[in-house]
Amino acid sequence: DYDTDQTSVSVAYWFALADVLETGITVIHTNPGNAPPNIPDSYHFRPPFGWMNDPNGFGRFGGRPHLFYQHYSHGLRWNTMHWGHAVSSDYLRWRHMPIFLFPSEDLTARPDRRGGAYSGSAVPLADGPGIRVFFTEQVQDRIPEQQIQLTATSSDLIMAGNADVILPYRPLDEGLTADFRDPYVFRGPDGLWKMLLGSQSSEGGVVLLYETHDHTAASGWTYIGKLLVEKHYRTTAIECPCLLPLDGPATDPATRWVLILGLMNSEDQSTRRKNLTMAIVGWFDGQTFAKEFEQELDFGADNYAFQAFVDGDAIVGIGWLANWADTGPAIDFPTAMTLPRNIHLSAGELHTPPIGAAESLRSHILDRTRLAAGEQVSFINGAVEILFELEKPGVHFHLKLEHPTVRLDVVVDDDGLAICHGDDAAESPHYIAKGARPKRLRIFLDYGSIEVFADRGRWAGTKRISGFEPIQSARLIAEAGAVLHATVWALKP
Ligand code: FRU
């Protein structure tokens, strides 16, 4: 039971460890006068309360998908980081679990030493259903080596045990800043364990590569070098890198890999994005990465710190449905994660559609209609999926989504496919998939977000919308001859 003036939230929460696996945690807002707006039924993952950012340790362990995440349960602002935790059977319906990973005691005992258990990854234990996690600890008064890498194990998948330091120092003489974080551990094509870390230098964002024969040993990680220096959008730093075999087994040298990177402090002049997620496709031989092509994983502003893993014959990933530039004072309720997405190559391009199971969210069809210019489709629910198919491809059109406070348009014109969002039409940012000529749009609306998938995931655009007002209709503004066939599904919470 806690009450904190920092957040104007009062929450009572109850759990008995024995019950947690059965029932999850129940959250009851006990102070309605002062509580945040009740979050309506929504189908995106959110923490039960408090602040959330990056997905961490995303994977299938003990047979079930687990999602860990950067979490501060005592308030709605970023603060000393813990790992929150949820478990699912289908990536869509999540059960909240107790906090999994706590920052070390000297951080919690001194609130002025902000930092905590930062982002990282998880691998299954060789024996039993548990996991080993790798994460960064940030200690603010240990400059310049502020960020150190740790590991901890959990055999019950409920709570991590004591952590050991595995990398206390970043590589010297490499022109790197103190940024040295977000360990992503995986088995390389040569059978050795690899670790990627995000960093920055005067040349741009950097991905560092380490390797070891035995990732269970506290020492033994060897620095291999800079895997990549990234300058896209003049980014200064890389956060949350991950690397996965994309179109074949890791051990086959012909297999393409996808390197997914969070770009920090980027300068996307046209849309003013400060954070975005890049995907670079190429070949990884265990020590070097040879780029074939790169693609933005999302043309929106709010899909960051995306983390993915190989689940059987598919790659499944999830991102934080927010970004650092606009999650400051405006946050009045916990942010969400994106819909989980599959990543695959098709005709030489990366596709990131929602996972197939997302269709199981559909409860019933609210409308099925043919829209010509000026007509609209209405839906009372705020949580819907709309499929738009163009009768004649190539035409320009503009969908005006009615929201009580913000402008929200989906536009297809000569420039490509755009989400326009903001208060003022002229000033509002346009997030653009340049050159996109979609034939089919799948739009997921939820309380607080829009996700647009074009042509089976060839383009994905995600935008957080502040507030919980439902979007209730889509009006077609189009040139003569533009006709859209619309199907609207109400989605289950
Ligand atoms: C990315 C990030 C990570 C860091 C974490 C801290 O969003 O800045 O680099 O580990 O958030 O919460």
Measured CA to CA in angstroms, residue 14 lies from 27, 45, 142 at distances of 7, 20, 37
Tell which atom from ligand 1 comes closest to the C-alpha of 78.
12
DSSP β-bridge partners for residue 434: 416
d(CA 284, CA 291): 9
Tell which atom from ligand 1 comes closest to the C-alpha of 81.
12
Residues 6+ apart with CB under 8 A from 251: 189, 191
Provide the token pair at 66: 């687990």
At 398 the pLDDT is 93
Distance 221 CA to ligand 1 centre (A): 22
Nearest protein CA to atom 6 of ligand 1, as residue: 118
Distance 278 CA to ligand 1 centre (A): 16
Question: What single-letter amino acid sits at 457?
Answer: G
Q: Which helix (H) or strand (E) holds 116?
A: strand 115-124
Question: What single-letter amino acid sits at 475?
Answer: R
In degrees, to the nearest 5, what angle opens at C-alpha 327 toward C-alphas 322 and 333?
85
Tell which atom from ligand 1 comes closest to the C-alpha of 179.
9
d(CA 343, CA 352): 5
Q: Are 488 and 385 in contact (CB under 8 A)?
A: yes
Tell which atom from ligand 1 comes closest to the C-alpha of 198.
9
Measured CA to CA in angstroms, residue 253 lies from 246, 282, 283, 284, 319 at distances of 12, 11, 8, 8, 29
At 411 the pLDDT is 94
Nearest protein CA to atom 9 of ligand 1, as residue: 239
Residues 6+ apart with CB under 8 A from 195: 134, 149, 183, 184, 185, 209, 210, 211, 212, 221
Residues 6+ apart with CB under 8 A from 173: none
What are the per-10-residue average pLDDT scores of the chain (493 residues)? 36 35 46 50 88 96 96 85 95 94 72 78 93 89 70 95 91 86 97 97 94 91 95 90 97 98 86 89 98 96 97 97 80 87 97 98 95 91 93 92 88 93 68 94 94 97 87 88 94 90
Residue from 79, 83, 182, 338 to probe ligand 1 pocket by mutation (most atoms less than 8 Å from CB): 182
Q: What SS3 state is found at 68?
A: strand
Domains, in order of start, for the chain = 2-351 (2.115.10.20), 364-491 (2.60.120.560)
Q: What SS3 state is found at 268?
A: strand
Distance 149 CA to ligand 1 centre (A): 13
Distance 190 CA to ligand 1 centre (A): 29
Tell which atom from ligand 1 comes closest to the C-alpha of 119.
10
Distance 81 CA to ligand 1 centre (A): 9
d(CA 205, CA 458): 26
Within a 10 A sphere around the Cβ of 282, how many other Cβ atoms?
18
Tell which atom from ligand 1 comes closest to the C-alpha of 54.
7
At 233 the pLDDT is 84
Around ligand 1, the residues with Cβ closer than 6 Å are 53-54, 70, 81, 118-119, 136, 181-182, 239-240, 262, 304-305
Residues 6+ apart with CB under 8 A from 99: 71, 73, 82, 83, 84, 85, 159
At 468 the pLDDT is 78
> What is the arrangement of strands in the sheet containing 2-4, beginning at the earlier edge strand?
2-4, 9-14, 26-29
Long-range pairs, 70-74, Cβ under 8 A, ≥24: 70/118, 70/119, 71/47, 71/99, 73/47, 73/49, 73/99, 74/2, 74/4, 74/6, 74/7, 74/50
Q: How many CA atoms lie within 13 A of 73 on its CB side?
A: 21
At 256 the pLDDT is 98
At 344 the pLDDT is 98
Strands (E), 155-246: 164-167, 176-187, 193-201, 204-212, 222-230, 237-245
At 421 the pLDDT is 87
Distance 353 CA to ligand 1 centre (A): 25
Alpha-helical (H) ranges within 230-366 are none
The end-to-end CA distance of the chain, in Å, is 26
Residue from 54, 78, 236 to probe ligand 1 pocket by mutation (most atoms less than 8 Å from CB): 54
Provide the token pair at 95: 């059960």
At 3 the pLDDT is 39
Please name which of 447, 451, 448, 444 lies closest in space to residue 465, comparing C-alpha atoms.
448
Residue from 69, 71, 239 to probe ligand 1 pocket by mutation (most atoms less than 8 Å from CB): 239
Peptide bond into 144 cis (omega under 30): yes
Q: What is the ipTM of this complex?
A: 0.99
d(CA 91, CA 215): 28
What is the chain's Cα-based Rg?
Answer: 22
Nearest protein CA to atom 8 of ligand 1, as residue: 239
At 28 the pLDDT is 44
Residue found by looking up tokens 């980027």 in the block: 266
Alpha-helical (H) ranges within 70-191 are 105-108
Sort strands 440-446 and 257-264 into parallel, antiparallel or unpaired: unpaired
Residues 6+ apart with CB under 8 A from 436: 412, 416, 417, 454, 455, 458, 459
